[in-house]
Structure 1
Amino acid sequence: MQHAHTIDSAKLDALVARAFGDLSAGYGGVMISIGNRLGLYKAMAGAGPLSARELSARADCAERYVREWLNAQVAGGYVAYHPTSDTYELTPEQALVLADEDSPVFFPSAWAVPASMWADEEKAVEAFRTGKGIPWGDHDGRLACGVAAFYRNAYKASLVPEWLPTLDGVVDKLKSGARVADIGCGHGHSTMLMAEAFPASEFHGFDSHQESLDKARKGAAEVGVSERANFAAARADNYPGKGYDLICFFDALHDMGDPVAAAAHAAKALAPDGTVMLVEPFANDRVEDNISPVARMYYAASTTICCAHAISDGGHLVLGAQAGEARLADVFRKAGFTRFRRAFETPFNLVLEARL
């Protein structure tokens, strides 16, 4: 006999409203990506009120499409509208989020990540059914570019001025001349930021994704740090070199199939009194304490990207992007580290310090 379930109409309405808001955000993300690619936001930044025709001329786009795109931006709260003059304006705050590629709150490039997740949906479905992994390099190409662009500005705003100074004695070593390894460096933005800030030190970026390394080398040449920042293909458990004063894992350890082995190799590669800097997505230790838009985003990406890569990489310990400080501390304890602490935190990241 089936039991009748009473539907709480207020709860149902709230859930439907949330679901529709999420659906609307997905549509809006496509509009944001298009506006970014076409330079529409940049054309509006600092220009004051513009008509649809004026903007289409500035951006060299068709007016009818531009007007409809503008109305979508107004509806989403990303562009201001002046009914009397039928003009549209990008406020200074909106420009920081949508037009300034160097802003720490620039978001359009981040939409490449969910676009890649949709493109890889069939791979994810197959992985769920079989339990097999998906290597980082097998994802849609927008993934690597979107992740690199999204993290680049956050690192630029925080790594040198905020995060490094919280580590015991590290900045002084970097100023006088230290040896640094950046593990899972990707496009090398973190490596290059440190190399620019500390010209007396040498930096070695390691990653297993060759296309990312190619972009890292190109980037280092463009900013003039190639002589002290080099990039090579290597795994986290076998990169070359000893005597590193600082070994960094920037949003990478949780992607690895054997994080304990990676931490153990770091222990062997460290100089006496060396430091491991571990930057991970912010997470509390319990699921019930990770209920937020940030946690939801990280869990979703972790499902199809982070856990999938770790499984493809052996899957000895699949941490996921919401591992939390306690599980991360346990990884380093098993690898032989005796000191582990939270040095800094933001709504998006945990900055952790490990020492032998």
Structure 2
Amino acid sequence: MAEAGEKETHDQFEKRFSTLVIHGFVSLSTSLGIQSGLFDALIKLKDEERTVKEIADTAGLKERYVKEWLGVMVAADIVDINPETEKYSLPPHRITFFQSGSSDSNLAVTLTDLTMYGAVYKKLLDCLKKDGPQGLSYSEYTDFHTVMSNHSSIWVLQHLVQDFIPSMPQIEERMKSGIRILDLGCGRGLASLAFAESYPNSTVVGLDISQEAINYGKERAKEKGLTNVEFIREDAACIPDDWNNTIDYIYTFNVIHDLAHADKVLLALNRILKPDGVFSMIDIDCKTKHSENASNEYCSMLYTMSLFHCLAISLFFEGSVGLGTCWGREKATEFLKDAGFQVDSITKPVGSSQAHYMCTKILK
């Protein structure tokens, strides 16, 4: 890339574009290795050199395909090869990036999204056409809630009650004493269950529009013997009036930017939050203007996720505000204020690249 202030040359862009194309293909193969269990096999075999057959047998896969996959990994410097023995190994310093549950594995989880996006590629092409569909239904995304749960699980399990809630001592003490907590867009209920287990004096409500996700949360709560959590299927924009001023703490994680009627949902959340309540909106951290996200590779990934998922599912609904993943701090703050919230602080939670908008009601 050209230095700041310099005009990029043809050759510089060719090199950069070539790298982008190559990385795209390698990403597909890396995702395949994660989902097929090949990286799990390499980890199980530790960092010792192994033959193609040993790796294939450990993974329970066909040897010829595994050999071709290893060719990709060796050429991309992800898997090492001994040129004298033609045996393969995954070095120790790379293992945690492919090890389920490790703090480094978020990148690998993100890579596996590619298959979900690929499945809707042709339908998204139709959405782009002026006379095409407005958006895509949640039902178009196979195993959506498993994917979303994989994204949030590491942070929720390692940081939610260990670091995040303690960063707000005023609400943590109330949780310990016993309050009513709402986990909006709870998905499969991982955060709801964590709240219920850690704060047994509090009552937790997990709310989501997906019956499949709600059923999953109910089953996990039953398995854990938790009686202070309930899961409810409900459109967040249609929360009944008898909830008004009944919730002490509202928590959302990467939910609001997906919502077709985010403006109405935020108004509903303001309505049900007690006057002294707190609303934690954790969402993508970026700027609203494209120009302020220029040359930011991380944002280029986020915009792609939005194009293939977040924006498309939002625009499926009539009257959608169409926020998209990268609605940014400026627009997020505007929406929150319009809904009657005061943004007391915007911080980055420990272990996360997201933004935490800690909000309270503007009292009239």
TM-score class normalised by the smaller sequence: 0.7 to 0.9
CA deviations 1:56-111 (Å, max 9, x no partner) are 2222223232222222112223222232333222223322111x211122143433
Letter in 1 for 2:356: V
Q: Identify the match of residue 336 of structure 1 among 337, 340, 351.
A: 340
1:17 and 1:213 map into 2 onto residues whose CA distance is 48
Structure-1 separation of matches of 2:104 and 2:293: 22
TM-score, scaled to structure 1: 0.87
Q: Offset of 1:225 from its aligned partner?
A: 5.5
Query: Counterparts of 1:311 and 1:235 in 2: how far apart (Å)?
Result: 16
**2:302 maps to what in 1?**
298
Question: How do residues 183-222 of structure 1 correspond to structure 2 at under 5 angstroms?
Answer: 183-222=184-223
CA contact (8 A) 1:113 1:143 kept: no
**1:170-207 superposed Cα distances (whole Å, 9 cap, x missing partner):** 21122222211111112222222333332332221111
Residues 283-321 of structure 1 show CA distances to partners (whole Å, capped at 9, x for unaligned) of: 124322213222111111212322222222333522221
Equivalents in 1 of 2:177, 2:40: separation in Å?
41
Inter-CA distance 136–144: structure 2 relative to 1 (3 Å threshold): farther
Residues 105 and 290 (structure 1), Cα distance of their counterparts in 2 relative to 1, 3 Å cut: same
- SS of equivalent to 1:150: helix
Partner residue of 1:289 out of 288, 292, 297: 292
Deviation at 1:139, TM superposition (A): 2.2
Where does residue 271 of structure 2 map in the other structure?
268
1:353 counterpart = 2:352: no
Structure 1 segments unaligned to the other structure (5+ residues):
1-7
Q: Percent identity?
A: 22
CA contact (8 A) 1:163 1:344 kept: no
The residue aligned with 2:318 is 314
CA distance in 2, matches of 1:162, 1:315: 38
Q: Secondary structure at the match of 1:321?
A: coil
Q: Which amino acid aligns with 2:80?
A: A
Q: Would you say the 8 A contact 2:203–2:229 is kept in 1?
A: yes
* Aligned residue identity for 2:43: A
Task: Please identify runs of 4+ aligned residues in structure 1 that moved more than 6 A.
Answer: none
Q: Structure 1 stretch 295-304 or stretch 225-234: which is displaced more?
A: 225-234
Instruction: Give me the whole-angstrom Cα distance separating, in 1, the residues matched to 2:22 and 2:87.
Output: 24
Normalized against structure 2, the TM-score is what? 0.86
CA gap of 1:286–1:78, structure 2 versus 1, over 3 A, is same
| SS of residue matched to 2:81 | strand
Q: Is the 8 A contact 2:124 2:136 kept in 1?
A: no
Query: 5+ unaligned residues in a row in structure 2: which ranges?
Result: 1-5
Alpha-carbon distance in structure 2 between the residues aligned to 1:58 and 1:195: 39
Structure 2 residue matching 1:169: 3-state secondary structure = helix
- Once the two structures are TM-superposed, the CA of residue 226 in structure 1 deviates from its matched residue by 4.1
Counterpart in 1 of 2:70? 70
Residue 33 of structure 1 aligns to which amino acid in structure 2? Answer: S
Q: 1:4 maps to what in 2?
A: none
Question: How far did 1:142 drift?
Answer: 4.4
Q: Which residue of 1 aligns with 2:3?
A: none
Mapping for residues 99-118 of structure 1, pairs under 5 Å: 100-106=99-105, 107-118=107-118
Deviation, structure 1 residue 354: 0.8
Name 2:47's counterpart in structure 1. 48
Aligned partner of 1:272: which letter?
P
Say what the alpha-carbon RMSD is for the aligned residues.
2.5
Range that drifts further, 289-298 or 82-91: 82-91
Identify which range, 84-93 or 324-333, moves more after superposition: 84-93
C-alpha distance in structure 2 between counterparts of 1:246 and 1:209, whole Å: 22
